Structure 1
Amino acid sequence: MTHLAGVKSNRVRLDDVEAEASYHALEDAPQPSCTTSARPQCQRPVDDSLPPPTLPPHSIQEAVELSVQCFDILHNTSSKAVNPPKSHVKLPRSNAICTSHYTWWSFVPVFLYRTFRKPANFYFLTIGFLQMIPPISPTNGVPLQFLPLSIVVLIDGIFAAIEDYHRHRADNDMNDTRCLRYNVTSGAFETAAWKDIVVGDLLQLQDNDVVPADLVVVATDGQVAAGCYIETKSLDGETNLKLREPLLQAQFDNVAEPDIAAILNGLEFAHDQPPTPNIHVHRGAVHCRMPNTLSVDAEDNMVTLPISVQHTAWRGCKIRNTQRIWGVVAYVGVDTKLMQGLKIQAMKQSTIDSVTDAQVILLVAMLVVLCVVGASLHTTWSTPALPSYLGRSAPDSPFIASFFYFLITMASILPITLNVSITAVKNLQGYFMTRDKDMFDSDRNMPMQARNKALNEQLGHITHIFSDKTGTITCNKMDFRKCTIRGVSYGNGTTAIGRAAARAQCTPNNSTDATDEGSHDTPVIPNVRFQDQRLYADLDGASGPEQAKAIRWFFTHLALSHSVLLDARREFAASSPDELALVSAAKYFGFAFVERHPGSIIVQLAQDGSSETYYLLAVFEFTSARKRMSVVVQSCNASQDVVVLSKGADSVLWPRLRSDAWVEATKSHLHGFATEGLRTLVIASKTIALDEWERFYAEYQLAQVHSAERVEQLQDDMEDNLTLLGVTGIEDRLQDRVPETLELLSKAGIGLWVLTGDMQETAVNVGYACSLLTNDMDRYIVNAHTCPTRISLLHHLDELYNRLVGSASSFTSHQAAIVIDGTSLSLLLHGKSTRTDPDYTSTSTDALHFLRVALLCRVVIACRCSPSQKARLVELVQVHCADARTLAIGDGANDVPMISTAHVGVGIAGEEGRQAVNSSDFAVGQFHFLARLVLVHGRWNYTRVAHLIGFTYYKNIVYCMSMFWFMLTYSAYSGALIYAVFIQQGYNLFFTALPIIAYAVLDQDVPANIAMALPQLYHVTGRRLFDRHQY
């Protein structure tokens, strides 16, 4: 890199005043004209074989080095506040990470401090010190209690030291990893350790390099023109590649190379948020002076460019299919997304552990009572009653000394080995659970994972299971099956779910299953199972030019509106199986997505082999709150008009549509698709004039820098008054053995709740297909159509409750099912998110109207349900049902709030990454493994741990009460010992500890096949083997 040798360092450190002034200058800066920033100019013919022009890498490096100075602002300013928070005004952080708990010199004091903060350990430590006081010591001042205590502490210390040693090694390996960093002194890129990287450094990364810190990508060099691919598997578990755009490179298409250094020399960066673990959101801005060669309608040619997540590469990501990238460090060390996401979540505690903690308090109270009784009797016996005529008083009472003597003698009524025994047993149970071959998923080569072994026995008394549908009950492998375009429905046959639902409802079904037939001229490709020759005929004009045009634009929409990428093998890589199916369908019908560049997408037409380039002007991303996605495009080969392409849920897009003639027919087709269990998406668009778009984009760019709320409002305004193009129908098949699994869980007495974002008809028919719903059930529907207002909703729920309570038998009430939609849930659940939300408010009484009805039903189905609503429903049951024990199972990021909220969270390693697995307590590869996990291992572990705790308390109480009885009956209340001292110490530690541990690990009261064949045993066993009453 000799071309950088002559570059001088322009890096500066701004003090707080300068940083704040820079921020205000950024906010007050004039905004750019949309002519330059809103869209690329289409002024020359497009050669599809050539990538968009890019700047030579050497000039990018030289220019970027001059911009490094601006990143020093990152530690000194926040673009949200006039007075920056203290967290932003501090010395630069180190990029070194430390996940270990101890150092070589702090291990002993810190470990002992943490150990004796536990009440049980502190209690036995105190008993040991009391034994050293001869007047009250039954051991003649010898602290024999320290022997078993030291053994227990030593075992814990060895495990802690080994675990922390491995953390140290991993940290050192990570911190000493090398990367290329630009040295302003030598003018070249040199290797540097990750731990030495600081904010503002310019890094060069190559293909397959791991990103060492959170970067803003400023330039790239690779097969992807003006862009790079990154893999985020280490952050979110997703294996599909993601495209990132260089922040500055796209601005230089028409700028002379000598002017670029002048542009970057005046850059100023500001970020709009402190470090957060959210890898999908980032806002900031760069403020720069553009040369006169660009048309910028602002004084002094100043422009403000927004920084979004599309310009970032987070620590832990891997650069893929890209020769080189250059990036400037924005966050380091603990401020990076990766380290922010490693913050420890609140630990879950099993019900038995909670009861055990309460029993310790009772045992202490019992011990105090015994000591008071013993000391009182001893004092009475040993204090002589002197005659009054002697005129002398009795000697001082020995009550206090006797009390502590009895306390030391019977201290072992609290089992010193209980916590160690429970920990050892649960770890061994987890070991055998993970090696159960009947829960091994051969398709993914994945065994069952016990990620939180503290909850092993909690699986044994679950009362309610909350399950996602897509990817949990179904495979999450989507096939394009049907569509309706401009009021005409295409696609023959029905789905497996549709046939199963029809059989369950005893309704006639004359449709035949679709085979993978199509036009003889069109090859069959993955993710498409379509059969209907009429579509090909209409595409050729059989139903008139308007329908042919609508079909062409419908599939062009599918080819443009997505986030799918092409990997090195030219295969589609998608984060969503739905998008993969839609893009595959577009290709199947001759509208193939063939290339994506930052700012443009190329679609190839099979009809004549030509390609058409569309400029990608803006993307309004899909979120669980928006339930839709839109892209704004402009064809370079057509007029200058701009087109907005939207797709999303019918509940969201339907109110945004124009009143076209084919809307009602499309509604009917959508309902038909849903009754077959197909997942539906509404496809719509609208055309706007170029000047209207430029006015919108000017305001949109400003909002991106300063206001997330304004961004959402502008997106809503643009996604209105849309023209309906059609609806897609995508099949998602049931996983293997789902009906049998749900039937087993239902027979075990567990309430089943299915929470999905699909339409009501889709959810209901999937319920029939998997035997969750039957014709014998009374099915109650609660939605926005039947109950449009809060008052009518509450009145309807009260009627349902009275009807269920008034049933002649409890059997009838258990054969009821309720279906409720997201709109109704929004009326009922008024509070904020979950209790972990800082703005959380308690559940409204409206929700209790629904809860009391739901608890009387065997099945609850919630459709059009958002992630936050899923979590609120789980919490609703937990908070208001004292005996409820909830389990939530899901496979995607939208299930994480529900999984984290439930008493037990189970993640499925599905098609949408490992977010659910990473947040779960247990992980499985298929839904049907849940039955064995709960009915077999859950029941076994609950029985074993309950017996372990009961036996441990029993043996200690029997041992201490026998000594107490001897002291009262045969030793004149003196506290004389019946057992030798070493027998006392060995009783808990050696003689009685190992047998019960072996029992609690290996015992099987019934074989696994019997537990699966008779799920009713789970309900019987789950009736509290160990609780306060049993104690």
Structure 2
Amino acid sequence: MGSFVLLIVLVFFYSQNNSIKTSKYNAFNFLPMNLFEQFQRLANAYFLFLLFLQLIPQIASLAWYTTVMPLMVVLSITAVKDAIDDLACWHSKLTFLQNSENSLSYRMVTEKWMDIQVGDIIKLENNQAADILLLSSSEPYSLTYIETAELDGETNLKVKQAISVTSEMEDNLKLLSAFDGEVRCESPNNKLDRFTGVLTYRGEDYILDHDRLILRGCVIRNTDWCYGLVIFTGPDTKLMQNSGKSTFKRTHIDHLMNVLVLWVSIPLSLPQHCMCFILAIGHCIWENKKGYYFQDFLPWKEYVSSSVVSATLIFWSYFIILNTMVPISLYVSVEIIRLGNSFYINWDQKMFYEPKNTPARARTTTLNEELGQVTYVFSDKTGTLTQNIMIFNKCSINGKFYGMHIFLLSLKKVDFSYNKLADPKFSFYDKTLVEAVKRGDRWVHLFFLSLSLCHTVIPEEKVEGELVYQAQSPDEGALVTAARNFGFVFRSRTSETIMVVEMGETKIYQLLAILDFSNVRKRMSVIVRTPEDRVMLFCKGADTILCQLLHPSCRSLKEVTMDHLDVSDFASDGLRTLMVAYRELDNAFFQNWSLKHNEAYLSLEDRENKISLVYEEIEKDLMLLGATAIEDKLQDGVPETIFTLNKAKIKVWVLTGDKQETAVNIAYACNIFHDEMDGIFIVEGKDNETVQQELRAFGGSLKYECSLVLQAHALEGNLQLDLLRTACMCKGVICCRMTPLQKAQVVELVKRYKKVVTLAIGDGANDVSMIKAAHIGVGISGQEGMQAMLNSDYAFSQFHYLQRLLFIHGRWSYNRMCKFLSYFFYKNFAFTLVHFWYAFYSGFSAQTVYDTWFITFYNLVYTSLPVLGLSLFDQDVNETWSLRFPELYEPGQHNLYFNKKEFVKCLVHGIYSSLVLFFIPMGAIYNSVRSDGKEISDYQSFSVIVQTSLLCAVTAQIALETTYWTMISHIFTWGSLGFYFCILFFLYSDGLCLMFPNVFQFLGVARNTLNLPQMWLSVILSMVLCILPVIGYQFLKPLFWPVSVDKIIDRIHHCMRHPLPPPIRTKLKHPSSRRSAYAFSHKQGFGALITSGKTLKTKLPKKK
């Protein structure tokens, strides 16, 4: 592609392709990396250590395969699950990167995105993305229109322009291929609004800045094609530099399980090792007092020289026996449960978005229970809360209201078929406005004429009659389209004229001046000369500003119009409003003003202030025409979803790159802010001192029902903690003008200092960093951008699906996981601690109570399916009640169902149950004889009685814990118990014992023991005594120690005993006063670009 060279200053040059990485593994690193991650779980590391101990014959109290087989199963299942998860991420990324671009290499070739290299010249067409230095485009002066919604959330179009020396090449492939310039530019960084560089071409240096660069994440709009030079690719692009690092996310319960494993495994400090130490001392004492009596037929091994040595070996032998204090199948069971609950999300038809054929997707299987513990939700605005669709909804013209009332909802749309140039997508429901236009109402005509003239929209007519408006702001596009449909069609413009088709008649207006928009002015005006030679000024802007500029004669009309804005008609729907006014100018006055305007425009000192003063001189004594109301259409169900989240005490923060007025307006529309709040506090200081003063000013009056609006630059100082403290006291928070990296920093702040579970949700590439930073990242899929979805943990198409994700799937997953962990630890404590009591009756000899095969199968077979049934199918209440009572979500936020306190309860219950399970069977068979007179108190019979009592007791316990029984639950629970009795006869059968006498040693024990009444007495007594405290606690707790959830459950049970009332449809109250009265925005200075003529569609003559 020519001899073009790209140099990166201060950075060692290397070739970087355009591929991006969202998957974790590859074929080479999968095994080591996955094993490394798995052995970060202390239980896995613990069992690896245990396996090494079992290979030492002097202390091996259990066969090595009793540990290695379960450990291999655990590691294999987890590895397969992780591989499947990562393959899904890799496939999504591959699909994304298979898109192609046109690359120039002396001729045009098609390349995949992943193959684009630094220094390539590529061709982009309309609606394509890029990361290039702009060289030329199809538009005059090589202008290119871009949309940056994925980068900063702003929907208004922005303009980029190539430098003149490269724009001359246009689409000439020969010239482009021969391009041999050299670029020196800054190293890759995350600054989206800054770029510095120098292009050296033909011996001349040309300054490059941000206006010449089109970033990855931008989309080309309303431009047929453009050519650009690839500056950064792959991870070096500013978009990816803002994406943050991928982190391996673990849930709070994962961290808690690691702590609990430490509790039961650290030497000499916690239960297992304390018990081993006690038993070793007991063994030493026993050997010194009684052991010598057995030396004749049970002598010490040659490596045992004293009772102290023997006790040391016994310590490690009991360490192996008591290893089930930390259940080996704990983590693999957790992974299976998470996988099953992830399938429920993927299969949820109520989260399937039919218009785009997009299902919900759980892109990870490790965070499900964390969904039931969210306290903060961080949301993007554009494309997440809103649809990016602006609709002209209502208007007030000369004191009369037009638009859709509630009682007009059943009426049909207005028929615009009489207007051949009408936009077929436009909808309006009040035919009285069309009738006013048709009968020639002067004020209505003047109102729509103002909308068709006062703007910076650029029209494009590619096919006769098919107009396309290039609007910098979707608000402006909606207003001009409304005027078009009501018969005032903005058709074309030049730098000096505007063509409008008024009720079928074409008129040319001379464009005399555009008084440009600014954030301070909050208005714009145009001055035109009509075909009748009248000089007219048309102005539109915020009502708070225009009301001060109206002529005194408009007082009564202003009051009526303000009533429309303030009382009910506009504000009750949370619409974005602005006022429209005009002024007829004397020709001599305008000529004099024009001279002043030109003088101010050419001024070298204090230019902006002088221009502002000149604007104010002519923008006064305006005559009010009316007001418009535009609906920034929200996604379906957004206000209701946020209302429900607030009821669940989940705080919603909106982090957006958009301007403050727009963000606050949306906050009111979607119920983050509302009128009942005690106040809205705005922090907009640009330095530490100013921010501190603002915080101090309203610090004492802050209440929970307050709202806070933060500007991004307020976070740049060292007051982040003060701002965070203030923000967390407020119910609703809006952060404006945020860069992607700042979004992530806000999330990190809350994570670090509040110690709560955070969720970030967004749809664009500018949301990737906060999605990665949050505990849970949710991507809105089905939009134009795929980056958010590719980097998310969960993906779906509509914001309101967040309700089901959290309140149904998240809450159920959390409840199930907590029940699972409580039961799992309990059953293992009860199982293991029986060995401790038995040691006192076996000379502390490290003899196991149970048969070796029972120890092997207890966690993997006998008790695995019942707890999986509980963890996959249990529901405390169904999904209807879960959504109706979002307050049920609160226990998860405070982690009430499984914590260190609950763990201690499991331990105490396990100790109690182990005492019952040991001493009840011992008492039942003590000095007992069979019907033939033989004693039954032998080791093997006692072992079978204890293990059968244990299994029946833990099965009864899980039956008590289960609140929602399914057929599968019954099969898993009772089938596992039945399977135990079946396999008992098989393992203790004569055939197996005779064939493998060293492996199967309990010959005929099953049939002999199960016939004993003492055995069944032990089983029944043990089972009843084990579950009796649980029944008592479950009965007494709601009576004497009720919590809010208990009261809600009682209400639900009361409702279930009576006919179900119709669903409560909460009518959300919209704001009763205006928030941001300014609905219209475009880039400051665009008016000057219009009048310069650089936006004309007439092509420049090519240089010869």
TM-score band w.r.t. shorter chain: 0.5 to 0.7
Question: In the alignment, what sits opposite 1:48?
Answer: none
- Matched residue, 1:1009: 880
Amino acid at match of 2:133: V
Check conservation: 2:102, 2:109, Cα contact below 8 A. yes
CA distance in 2, matches of 1:386, 1:160: 53
On the 8 A contact 2:156/2:474 being kept in 1, the answer is no
Alignment of 1:560 onto 2:457: yes
1:780 matched to 2:678? The reply is yes
Among 946, 952, 962, which residue is 2:834 paired with? Answer: 962
- SS of residue paired to 2:629: strand
Task: Give the corresponding residue for 1:353.
Answer: 254
Distance 1:895 1:108 in 2: 32
Distance 1:902 1:106, change over 3 A: closer
- How far apart are 1:999 and its partner, in Å? 2.4
Equivalent in the alignment of 2:1065: none
1:411 aligns to 2:323 (yes or no): yes
* TM-score, scaled relative to structure 2: 0.60
Task: Report the alpha carbon displacement of residue 374 of structure 1 after superposing the two structures with TM.
Answer: 2.1
Structure 1 counterpart of 2:678, which letter?
A: Y
Is this contact kept in 2: 1:200–1:328, CA < 8 A? Answer: yes
Q: Is the 8 A contact 1:226 1:249 kept in 2?
A: no
Q: What corresponds to 1:832 in structure 2? A: 715
Residue identity opposite 2:120 in structure 1: D
Offset of 1:282 from its aligned partner?
5.6
Partner of 1:450: 362
Map of 1:843 onto structure 2 = 721
Which amino acid is 1:145 matched to? T
User: 1:127-166 maps to which residues of 2 (within 5 A)?
Assistant: 127-139=50-62, 142=64, 144-160=66-82
Distance verdict in 2 for CA 1:238–1:443, change over 3 Å = farther
Match of 2:897 in 1: 1025
Q: Distance in 2 between matches of 1:240 and 1:659?
A: 29
SS at match of 1:492: strand
Which residue in the other structure is 1:368 paired with? 273
Are 1:994 and 2:896 an aligned pair? no
Aligned equivalent of 1:587: 484
**For residues 318 and 530 of structure 1, do their structure 2 counterparts lie closer, same or farther at Cα, with a shift above 3 Å needed?**
closer
d(CA) in 2 for partners of 1:647, 1:345:
47
Cα shift readout 1:882-929 (whole Å, capped 9, x = no counterpart): 6x6566667778887877776556565698867776676544544554
Letter in 1 for 2:705: I
In structure 2, give the amino acid aligned to 1:127. L
Which residue in the other structure is 2:208 paired with? Answer: 306
Contact conserved, 1:275 with 1:337, CA < 8 A, in 2?
Answer: yes
The letter for the 1-side match of 2:329 is T
CA separation of 1:313/1:902 partners in 2, compared to 1, >3 Å: closer, same or farther? Answer: closer
Change (3 A) 1:1000 1:127: same
| Structure 2 residue 15 is the aligned partner of structure 1 residue 92 | yes
Alignment of 1:939 onto 2:861 = no
> Does residue 43 of structure 2 align to residue 120 of structure 1?
yes
1:383–1:395 Cα contact (<8 Å) kept? yes
Cα displacement (A) at 1:128: 1.0
SS state at 1:479 partner? strand
Cα distance in 1, alignment partners of residues 901 and 385 from structure 2? 38
* Farther-moved stretch of structure 1 (1006-1015 vs 599-608): 599-608
Question: Is the alpha carbon distance of 1:156 and 1:466 closer, same or farther for their aligned partners in structure 2, counting shifts above 3 Å?
Answer: closer
Contact 1:481–1:491 at 8 Å: present in 2 too? no
Change (3 A) 1:434 1:310: farther
- 1:679 equivalent to 2:576? Answer yes
Quick check: 1:216 aligned with 2:110?
no
Equivalent residue letter for 1:1027: N
Q: Partner residue of 2:337? A: 425
Q: CA deviation at 1:1001?
A: 1.5
Distance 1:980 1:759 in 2: 71
Tell me how far 1:946 sits from its aligned partner. Answer: 0.9
Are residues 548 and 784 of structure 1, via their aligned partners in 2, closer, same or farther at CA, if it must alter by over 3 Å? farther
Check the 8 A contact 1:203/1:328 in 2, yes or no.
Answer: yes
- Give the corresponding residue for 1:31: none
Q: Which amino acid aligns with 1:956?
A: N
Closer/same/farther in 2, CA of residues 309 and 993 from structure 1, 3 Å limit? farther
Specify the alignment match of 1:44 in structure 2. none
Tell me which residue corresponds to 1:271. Answer: 185
Structure 1's unaligned 5+ residue stretches are: 1-64, 78-83, 291-299, 388-392, 500-510, 700-712, 802-816, 834-838, 855-859
Separation in 2 of the partners of 1:1016 and 1:262?
Answer: 64
AA aligned to 1:677 is: G
Question: Is the CA contact 2:500–2:508 (under 8 Å) kept in the aligned structure 1?
Answer: yes
Could you tell which deviates more after superposition, 898-907 or 661-670?
A: 661-670
Distance 1:456 1:614, change over 3 A: farther
Partner of 2:402: 492
**888 and 376 in structure 1: CA distance in 2 versus 1, 3 angstrom threshold:** same
SS of residue paired to 1:970? coil
Q: Which runs of 5 or more structure 2 residues have no equivalent in the other structure? A: 293-304, 583-592, 904-1104
The 8 Å contact of residues 738 and 928 in structure 1, kept in 2 or not, is answered as yes
Amino acid at match of 1:1000: S
Greater mean deviation of Cα atoms: 718-727 or 417-426: 718-727
Contact 1:269–1:284 under 8 Å retained in 2: no
Contact 1:671 / 1:761 at 8 angstroms: preserved in 2? no
Q: Measure the CA separation in 1 of the matches of 2:364 and 2:462.
A: 36
Q: Contact 1:267–1:286 (CA<8 Å) still a contact in 2?
A: no
Aligned residue identity for 1:832:
L
Shift of 1:578: 3.5
Q: Work out whether 1:252 is the aligned partner of 2:168.
A: yes
Contact 2:500-2:507 at 8 Å conserved across structures? yes
Cα distance change on mapping 1:581 and 1:218 into 2, 3 Å: same
Task: Select which of 118, 123, 126 maps to 1:199.
Answer: 118
Q: How far apart are 1:677 and its partner, in Å?
A: 1.9
Change (3 A) 1:493 1:91: closer
Q: Write the mapping of 1:857-936 to structure 2, written as runs, cut at 5 A.
A: 860-861=731-732, 921-926=793-798, 928-936=800-808
The answer for the alignment partner of 1:950 in structure 2 is 822
CA 1:831–1:863: 2 relative to 1, 3 Å: closer
Q: 1:168 to 1:282 in 2, by over 3 A?
A: same
**Match for 1:371: what amino acid?**
C
Q: Give the 5 Å matches for 1:798-817.
A: 798=700
Number of residue pairs the alignment of both structures matches: 842
| CA distance 1:879–1:448, shift in 2 (3 Å) | same
Asked whether the equivalents of residues 228 and 244 of structure 1 are also in contact (C-alpha less than 8 Å), the reply is yes
Where 1:402 maps in the other structure, the secondary structure is helix
| Structure 1: distance between partners of 2:157 and 2:644 | 40
1:316-368 Cα deviation digits (max 9, x unpaired): x8989988754433223432456556654445544433433332222223222
Counterpart residue identity of residue 721, structure 2: T
1:640-666 CA-to-partner distances (Å, cap 9, x unmatched) read xxx999998889x899x9899799959
Whole-angstrom distance in 1 between the partners of 2:790 and 2:239: 13
Counterpart selection for 2:287 from 352, 374, 382: 382
C-alpha separation in 1, matches of 2:229 and 2:19: 17
User: Given the superposition, is the C-alpha separation of residues 379 and 851 from structure 1 closer, same or farther in structure 2, using an over 3 Å criterion?
Assistant: same
Q: Secondary structure at the match of 1:135?
A: coil
**Distance (Å, rounded) in 2 between the aligned partners of 1:357 and 1:287:** 56
| Matched-pair contact (CA < 8 Å) for 2:155–2:388 | no
TM-score by length of 1: 0.64
Q: Tell me if the contact between 2:144 and 2:220 (Cα under 8 Å) persists in the aligned partners.
A: yes
Letter paired with 1:606: V
- C-alpha contact (below 8 Å) 2:147/2:221 kept by paired residues: yes
Q: Distance in 2 between matches of 1:309 and 1:941?
A: 49
**Would the aligned equivalents of 2:132 and 2:232 in 1 still touch at CA under 8 Å?**
yes
- Counterpart CA distance in 2 for 1:137 and 1:564 is 86
338 and 1021 in structure 1: CA distance in 2 versus 1, 3 angstrom threshold:
closer
- Residue 72 (structure 1) aligns with: 6
